[in-house]
Structure 1
């Protein structure tokens, strides 16, 4: 089954970790550190904690976004794809999707 997942909420955790709530009921913690570690577009996010903490859900696109319209793909954050950069990052499933095997 293939369908698009939306991120419905985000919470900043310690370090560069984010807790993400997905439209299928899953809650997944993601280490955004490796994602934002390189690339000019991420420079303001990695160099200023206040900018990192300004992350919010964009309800129109169903993903998270920082100031400057810097966003990340929900499928990659969920674990259904890999970042275009090829940089892997750690994720922890806090709660699996509704109806998923435990």
Structure 2
């Protein structure tokens, strides 16, 4: 179960980054078929390589394993922008987010 999830998430982030399996393998310092072997189900990344993959896509392991996070770079940008807001602005933004979340229900 987790094996398929890991493969799918790597593919998802690889496709969003518009990088081929071959290029990702090389960018990670692996053999040219390394990512293809993961995608095909023949292997899984080691823990060190998994962390390298997270670094490559600018993800934390938590973000990697959170399927609701589909655009981590946008989330990082929003958080970075929030860090410069005043407390009053943060309260207002939080109220807006709560209202949006309520409207989704």
Mark yes or no: TM-score above 0.5.
Answer: no
Q: Going by fraction, where is strand more abundant, 1 or 2?
A: 1
Identify which of structures 1 and 2 has the higher relative contact order when contacts are C-alpha pairs closer than 8 Å and 6+ apart: 1
TM-score normalized by the length of structure 1: 0.29
TM-score normalised by length of structure 2: 0.29
| Structure with greater helix share of residues | 2
